[in-house]
Amino acid sequence: MGTTLKNSYTSFKSSRFFRFNGDRSLLIGTAVALIFGLLMVYSASFLYSEERTGDGFFFFRRQLSYAVLGCAALLASIQIPLARYAKLAPILLGSTIALLACVWIPGIGARVGGATRWIGLGPVRFQPAELAKLICILFFAKALAVRMRSKSAPAVAYLSPLLFVAPVFGLLLLQPDFGSTAIIAMTLAVLVFVAGIPWKWVVGLGLTLCAAASLLIFRSPYRRDRVLTFLDPWADPQGGGFQVIQSMLGLHNGGFIGSGLGNGKEKLFFLPEAHNDFILAVIGEELGFVGVLGVLFFFVWFITKGFRIAWVALEKRGDAFSFLVGCGIAVWIGLQGFINMGVVLGLLPTKGLTLPLISYGGSSLIIDLWAIGILFRVSVENRSAQR
């Protein structure tokens, strides 16, 4: 019996999957954040779920199922070489644009909360905007990698891939989904910067993005109202400012160490749908400043880890595509985390963006884990090249 178990272990250890010896701390950190998120979704949603569905575990079970699917996507993505993503990037972008257009097809698109952002297939709903964040990174990384290898590429060549991504921006703004549009635009701007575009172009691109964002905000009544509410939430405490005010009250009540897990009061129908975008307010109330600091530390660590993995790909292997993909994933997930935290803390206008790996949401969680699997694959290929 002992010999059989030993042989089975030896066989597993030599298998193709086990030889994927990447940066395991990335997987450990992701697992910790995922488990923490499941715990907080349960704490934040139990009473709301019981009142709404008669089952206190309804949202927790759904989030758990999303986590299982996301982990399966992560494990599958580890198996796929980065070169294959580079080859398929144009096809993936075209497919994503088609999915974004499908939200407007009657019987397929689903309208929720005044926005048409979901594809509904029976009880299952999928938000293609989440997929667009990852696919735009993959496509842009492939396009920019070519420019990085060509030292004589003109500066304007770094911006030409925007022509192919423009339909994604247009379709997202039609939904409307300004938050996802902003995340993609800022992430791609960082990719252009790290790819080596001259500083004067970086400044010009930044000013252009700011001008475009200002125009989009002030030409749209609902976006303009969000900015005004951000500037003075107490001007409409029972309307637009209600959620932000309740969020700040929860953070204030939490103090330094919080009221204890499960003991928060704001989730008792004061803070609307606390398990979604404002879950950090529940964390702050129940785990205090320490809990919020822990979340902040995770996203700082994730960005640092992602850039280290990406830098090794460029420095040791000369793989510009893997470098840009790693940077893009690190910036996207980290930036979205910081923006979500800024909204909950009252430092930014509301955006409708999830807190990656922690707040409730199926599409976002599955795509985030898929992306982290790709980042881990970069580390796998780094270590394989160093042997």
Q: Are residues 282 and 177 in the same domain?
A: no
The predicted pLDDT at position 380 comes to 92
Number of structural domains in the chain: 2
The predicted pLDDT at position 3 comes to 57
Query: Would you give the distance in Å from CA 121 to the centre of its chain?
Result: 23
The predicted pLDDT at position 17 comes to 44
152 SS3 class: coil
pTM metric for this prediction: 0.89
The predicted pLDDT at position 113 comes to 62
In a domain, 137, yes or no: yes
Can you point out the beta strands (E) in the chain?
109-112, 115-121, 124-126
Q: Are 39 and 358 within 8 A, CB to CB?
A: no
In a domain, 15, yes or no: no
In a domain, 229, yes or no: no
Pairing, β 109-112 against β 124-126: unpaired
The encoded tokens of residue 79 equal: 């198996």
The predicted pLDDT at position 137 comes to 96
CA distance 147 to 30: 32
My answer on whether omega of the bond before 81 falls inside 30° of 0, hence cis, is no
Q: What is the 3-state secondary structure (H, E, C) of 169-234?
A: HHHHHHCCCHHHHHHHHHHHHHHHHHCCCCHHHHHHHHHHHHHHHHHHHHCCHHHHHHHHHHHCHH
Q: Are residues 148 and 260 in the same domain?
A: no
In a domain, 1, yes or no: no
In a domain, 156, yes or no: yes
The predicted pLDDT at position 84 comes to 94
Instruction: List the chain residues with pLDDT less than 50.
Output: 1, 5, 8-9, 11-19
Q: Are residues 163 and 243 in the same domain?
A: no
Q: Are residues 206 and 252 in the same domain?
A: no
Q: Are residues 152 and 268 in the same domain?
A: no
Q: Are 64 and 39 within 8 A, CB to CB?
A: no
Our separate counts of H helices and E strands in the chain read 13, 3
Residue 324: partners with Cβ closer than 8 Å, 6 or more residues away: 137, 140, 141, 144, 145, 148, 191, 194, 195, 310
Q: Are 265 and 285 within 8 A, CB to CB?
A: yes
Domain coverage including residue 290: 29-79+234-387
Of the candidates 378, 367, 375, the one whose C-alpha atom is nearest the C-alpha of residue 70 is 367
Q: Are residues 178 and 193 in the same domain?
A: yes
Q: Are residues 135 and 192 in the same domain?
A: yes
Q: Are residues 116 and 206 in the same domain?
A: yes
Of the candidates 180, 187, 175, 178, the one whose C-alpha atom is nearest the C-alpha of residue 212 is 178
Q: Are residues 338 and 385 in the same domain?
A: yes
Q: Are residues 205 and 132 in the same domain?
A: yes
